[in-house]
């Protein structure tokens, strides 16, 4: 099968096949700077040779992911982990590596002051400190050309009665409004939710509904971030995707996969069928295009697998799920749905999912001058051995830095 002569979608016209190829070629995925540093569980962090010592080296590694996949042109930063003296210079360096700066992530989870909350804290002093951190992040966005301020709020409570649930929501709404007011006209606030952890009784933004309500109150440049690892088991994530798209408020994905909790494993590793179902909601609702406003980001921590290859694998998994979703025969599916043909509709869906799209993607890469197998090509390049020699003796940047 070739990119121009795919038989994956039986009976599909040459035009439809060309559309699939064009959509895949236009897809982009953002990688997180923190995926390149050492990270682990609370039990052990396994060190990897050649791990970046500063944000510059993280961007160099991210540049490799883009070089071999051709679809990872942006890198999310995390402040203060990626703090530097000169952000114009960092943005210039990113450009030299073939990438640009994506979302700026704030950090509200590593400061002693935030034990009982940050943007929701009962103390006006501590809320003001948390708001000021975001104003600093917005300055960094201006210097680096970043569009999105990403907030994951770790606030919550551990015990019933510990604090007022609604009082905390009021304080959160006020803090968010101050941050939103500081954004430029071309900047967005993207707001993540997570059902538990670090707190166990309540989280202040536990679900997409809470995030959406805050976004609606803030204004049209406030959007929800859906982290695929932040849901209770068996949650129908594609349903949430469809709802947020209907509301025009799906701002971004944090892609990863989970077996038990917020595992941050490679996306598509635990449940490739779920990833396909999610991507089908995206492709069938016209949300894949760059101008859809949905940013496709990875949020992963590679503990035992090599980091750059781990990012490449995740990107390939998303590409495969996207290709399969694009191969669903929309016309035939609609006809089956309208006719009440339950089994026929499901078969059409499963036919697309069960298609081996790897040859199609290899052909698309070859047509772009990329190696058909990006992981093999990257591994053969010797980059890891080269940076391991150059970066000897440093301490890694990132978590805890
Ligand atoms: C913590 O749960 C978390 O994994 C969130 O998903 C954030 O997006 C990420 O860390 C980076 O702050
Ligand atoms: Mn996340
Ligand atoms: Mn998470």
Residue 262 neighbours by CB distance under 10 Å: 17
Residue nearest atom 5 in ligand 1 by C-alpha distance: 152
Query: For position 392, what pLDDT does the model report?
Result: 82
Query: For position 365, what pLDDT does the model report?
Result: 98
Ligand 2 center to 246 CA (angstroms):
22
Residue 111 neighbours by CB distance under 10 Å: 14
Query: For position 102, what pLDDT does the model report?
Result: 98
Atom from ligand 1 closest to the CA of residue 264: 4
pLDDT in tens, 289-339: 989 999 999 999 888 999 999 999 999 999 999 999 999 999 999 999 999
pLDDT of residue 3 exceeding 50, the answer is no
**DSSP at 98:** T
Structure tokens at 216: 């609606």
Structure tokens at 400: 């805890």
Ligand 1 center to 150 CA (angstroms):
10
Ligand 2 center to 14 CA (angstroms):
39
Interface TM-score (ipTM) > 0.95: yes
Contacts of 64 (CB under 8 A, 6+ apart): 308, 378, 383
pLDDT confidence bin for 74, thresholds 50/70/90? very high
Complete domains list, the chain, with CATH:
26-390 (3.20.20.150)
pLDDT confidence bin for 46, thresholds 50/70/90? confident
Query: For position 282, what pLDDT does the model report?
Result: 98
Q: Quote the pTM value.
A: 0.95
Query: Is residue 192 within 6 Å of ligand 1 at its C-beta?
Result: yes
Gap between the Cα atoms of 401 and 399, Å rounded: 5
| Residue 297 near residue 29, CB atoms below 8 Å | yes
Backbone φ, ψ for residue 286 (5° rounding): 65, 30
Atom from ligand 1 closest to the CA of residue 197: 2
pLDDT in tens, 109-145: 999 999 999 999 999 999 999 999 999 999 999 999 9
**Ligand that comes closest to the CA of residue 109:** 1
Query: Is residue 208 within 6 Å of ligand 1 at its C-beta?
Result: no
Residue nearest atom 3 in ligand 1 by C-alpha distance: 152
Structure tokens at 162: 């510990």
Query: For position 8, what pLDDT does the model report?
Result: 46
pLDDT of residue 398 exceeding 90, the answer is no
Query: For position 393, what pLDDT does the model report?
Result: 65
List the beta bridge partners of residue 78: 105
Query: Is residue 194 within 6 Å of ligand 1 at its C-beta?
Result: yes
pLDDT in tens, 246-270: 999 999 999 999 999 999 999 999 9
pLDDT in tens, 187-237: 999 999 999 999 999 999 999 999 999 999 999 999 999 999 999 999 999
Gap between the Cα atoms of 112 and 110, Å rounded: 7
Query: For position 6, what pLDDT does the model report?
Result: 44
Query: Please, what is the average pLDDT of the chain?
Result: 94
Q: Which of 262, 40, 251, 23 is nearest to 148 (CA)?
A: 251
Query: For position 302, what pLDDT does the model report?
Result: 81
Atom from ligand 1 closest to the CA of residue 192: 8
pLDDT confidence bin for 4, thresholds 50/70/90? very low
pLDDT in tens, 340-373: 999 999 999 999 999 999 999 999 999 999 999 9
Query: Is residue 254 within 6 Å of ligand 1 at its C-beta?
Result: yes
Residues lining ion ligand 2 (Cβ < 5 A) are 227, 254, 299
SS3 336: helix
Q: What percent of the chain shows pLDDT beyond 90?
A: 88
pLDDT confidence bin for 44, thresholds 50/70/90? confident
Ligand 1 center to 157 CA (angstroms):
18
Contacts of 123 (CB under 8 A, 6+ apart): none
CA distances from 207 to 152, 240, 279, 297, 344 (A): 12, 10, 20, 19, 34
Ligand 1 center to 254 CA (angstroms):
9
pLDDT confidence bin for 275, thresholds 50/70/90? very high
Query: Is residue 152 within 6 Å of ligand 1 at its C-beta?
Result: yes
Peptide bond into 27 cis (omega under 30): no
Query: Is residue 82 within 6 Å of ligand 1 at its C-beta?
Result: no
**Ligand that comes closest to the CA of residue 152:** 1
CA distances from 376 to 81, 135, 357, 368 (A): 31, 42, 18, 17
Ligand 3 center to 250 CA (angstroms):
17
Backbone φ, ψ for residue 229 (5° rounding): -90, 5
**Ligand that comes closest to the CA of residue 78:** 1
Query: For position 290, what pLDDT does the model report?
Result: 84
């Amino acid at each position: 099968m070739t990119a121009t002569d795919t038989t994956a979608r039986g009976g599909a016209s040459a035009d439809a096949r060309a559309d699939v190829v064009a959509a895949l070629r236009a897809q982009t995925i953002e990688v997180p700077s923190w995926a390149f540093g050492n990270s682990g569980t609370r039990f052990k962090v396994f060190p990897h040779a050649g791990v970046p010592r500063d944000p510059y080296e993280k961007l160099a590694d991210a540049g490799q992911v883009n070089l071999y996949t051709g679809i990872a042109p942006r890198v999310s930063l995390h402040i203060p982990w990626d703090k530097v003296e000169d952000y114009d210079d960092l943005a210039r360096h990113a450009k030299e590596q073939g990438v640009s700066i994506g979302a700026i992530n704030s950090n509200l989870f590593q400061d002693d002051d935030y034990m009982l909350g940050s943007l929701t804290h009962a103390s006006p002093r501590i809320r003001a400190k948390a708001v000021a951190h975001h104003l600093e992040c917005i300055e960094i966005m201006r210097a680096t050309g970043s569009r999105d301020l990403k907030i994951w709020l770790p606030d919550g409570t551990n015990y019933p009665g510990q604090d007022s649930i609604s009082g905390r929501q009021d304080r959160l709404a006020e803090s968010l409004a101050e941050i939103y007011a500081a954004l430029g006209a071309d900047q967005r606030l993207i707001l993540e939710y997570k059902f538990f952890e670090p707190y166990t009784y309540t989280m202040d933004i536990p679900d997409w509904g809470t995030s959406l309500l805050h976004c609606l109150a803030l204004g049209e440049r406030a959007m929800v971030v859906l982290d695929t690892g932040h849901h209770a088991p068996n949650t129908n994530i594609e349903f949430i995707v469809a709802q947020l798209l209907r509301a025009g408020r799906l701002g971004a994905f944090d892609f990863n996969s989970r077996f038990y909790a917020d595992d941050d494993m490679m996306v598509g590793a635990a449940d490739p069928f779920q990833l396909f179902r999610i991507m089908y909601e995206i492709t069938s609702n016209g949300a894949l295009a760059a101008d859809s406003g949905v940013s496709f980001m990875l949020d992963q921590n590679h503990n035992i697998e090599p980091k750059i290859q781990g990012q490449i694998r995740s990107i390939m998994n998303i590409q495969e799920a996207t290709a399969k979703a694009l191969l669903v025969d929309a016309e035939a599916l609609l006809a089956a749905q309208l006719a009440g043909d339950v089994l026929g509709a499901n078969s059409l869906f499963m036919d697309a999912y069960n298609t081996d799209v790897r040859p199609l993607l290899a052909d698309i890469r070859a047509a772009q001058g990329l190696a058909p197998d990006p992981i093999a090509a990257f591994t053969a390049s010797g980059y890891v051995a080269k940076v391991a020699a150059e970066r000897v003796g440093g301490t890694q940047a990132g978590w805890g830095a």
